[in-house]
Amino acid sequence: MAPVRLRHPKGVSTVEVPSDNSFTVQDLQQEIYAATDILPSRQLLKSGYPPRALTLVPELPVQSLGLLKGDQLIVNESTGFGSSAAAAPQRVQPLAQSASPNVQPRPSPAPPGSASAQTTATGLQPSPGPDHVELDGGFLVHRIVPDDNSCLFSSVALVFEQSITKAPQLRKVIAEGIRNNPDTYSEAIRRMPPSQYIDTITKPTSWGGAIELSILAAHYSAEIASVDVETGRIDRFAPGESGSLSVMRAILVYSGIHYDAATLAPMADAPAEWHQTLFPITSTEDSDPVLVAAKKLADILRAKKAFTNTATFDLKCEVCGQGLKGEKGARAHAEETGHVRFGEY
C-alpha cells in the first residue's frame, strides 16, 4: 500500500501504510489518533465516492478496508458511547488491543439532568443522580469513568486507589506481570510475543481485557467481578491460581466496549470520599448480596440500551458475499479463505 491521505476536522494529513499483512486496522487507528487526536474508540472512517462507512475489525489486516492507492479517508469523531468501531473480543473477550469494532454503538447513559436522561426506555421517570440500586441501607452506584481507551485501568484505579489518575501506573503493573510470568503469558496464549504485547498494552490507546483483570486481581489480592450489561453475566477474576480464595471483591460494569465501576454510598449522590469501593465476600455464588445488586444495576443500564454487542453484529464478505456473525466470524472466514474485505448488513 501507499500513503493514505486523511481529511479530518483539523485539516489534511498523510499516514504511511505498509503493504504487508502485519499492519492491522488497529495499527491504522493508532496512526490516525496520532495525526488527529481522535481516540480509536471514537473514530468514524469513510472512503470512496460517494463516501461509504468502513467496517473496522481491529485484528484484521488493513487490506480488509479495501483501500486503493490514492484513496482518501474521511475521519470524523463519534459523540456516542464508543465509536462505530468494534472491539475484538476483549475484556472477558480480547485482551490488550486498542480495539474499536465497527458496530453502531448503543447510546450511553445520559448525564444526570440532561434532556435524554429524563425518561428511560421503560418510559418511567428515573430518580435524579447516577444510576443506582439499594443495598444494605445504602446505594450501589454506577461510577462512570472517561471513555478514553483506559476505562478498564481507570475503573480499577478508582476502586483500589480511589483515583483514576493512577490508571497509567496500572499499565506498568500489567507489563511487569507479563514480564515476570513468560510461561503463563506465552506467545501461544497471546498470539504475539510477550515483549510485543507489553509494548502494546503500555500505550495509552490500548484497551485492556481478561488478561489485565487477572493480573490486577493478583496484584491487589482481591477478586474483581465484572457484570456484563447486556446479559447480566458476572465474570470473576480471582487472585493467584485458579480456585484461590480472596476475602474482598471489587465490582466493574462492562458495556461491551467500555468499563465503569460500581461502589457503595450512603446516598446516591454522595461525594466520592464517602464511597465504599471494596466489599467482603460473603458468598462465592452469584447470590452474594453485592453481586445481586450489581445485576440489578445492569438491568437498569440494559433498559437504557447502554451496551454494544460486538459478537453478534452482522457482516458480509464483500469478496464472496457470505454472511458472517461478529468479529470472530469475520476472522475465521479470513483465515479460511484469505478474504479480508467485510461490510455491515
In the chain, what are the helix, strand and coil shares in percent, each to the nearest 5?
Answer: 30, 25, 45
> 249 is written with which cell numbers?
471483591
151 is catalytic: yes
Which one is catalytic: 27, 147, 151, 228? 151
320 is catalytic: no
Distance CA 109, CA 304 (A): 7
Distance CA 306, CA 81 (A): 8
Distance CA 38, CA 84 (A): 13
* CB contact burial 235-259 (16+ within 10 A = b; e otherwise): bbbbbeeeeeebeebbbbbbbbbbb
H or E segment at 274? none
Q: Cell numbers 450511553 correspond to what residue?
A: 108
Which one is catalytic: 71, 148, 235, 286? 148
288 is catalytic: no
Neighbours of 153 (CB within 10 A): 28
Distance CA 153, CA 146 (A): 11
H or E segment at 323? strand 323-325
Burial of 28 (0-12, 13-18, 19+ CB in 10 A): buried
Which one is catalytic: 8, 275, 333, 339? 339
Distance CA 238, CA 226 (A): 11
Which one is catalytic: 8, 132, 142, 258? 258
Q: Are 217 and 224 in contact (CB under 8 A)?
A: yes
Report the Cα 193 to chain-centroid distance in Å: 22
> 94 is written with which cell numbers?
480480547
Query: Which residues neighbour 282 within 8 Å (Cβ) at sequence distance 6 or greater?
Result: 288, 289, 290
333 is catalytic: no
Distance CA 87, CA 305 (A): 18
Indicate which residues carry an active-site annotation. 148, 151, 258, 339
